[in-house]
Amino acid sequence: MEFIKEFFEFLKERKKLWLLPIVVILLIFGAIIVLTAGSAIAPFIYTIF
């Protein structure tokens, strides 16, 4: 949790808050790929990319 706290402080200090939506979307895509890697949904998820 310390890394996340430092990351948010870095974004505020450097005024890079526009990076936050990009990071969130990448985390969501990563979670979808990891969670569906062994399921029957995987071929449909990979066709999106």
**10-37 pLDDT, tens digit each:** 888 888 888 889 989 999 988 887 877 7
More confident residue, 22 or 47: 22
Beta carbons within 10 angstroms of residue 32's beta carbon: 13
Average pLDDT for residues 1-13, to the nearest whole number? 87
pLDDT for residue 49 is more than 70: no
Tell me how far apart the alpha carbons of residues 15 and 13 are, in angstroms, rounded to a whole number: 6
Find out whether 45 and 32 touch, Cβ atoms under 8 Å. Answer: yes
Give me the pLDDT at residue 47, please.
72
Give me the pLDDT at residue 7, please.
86
- Tokens coding 3: 């890394």
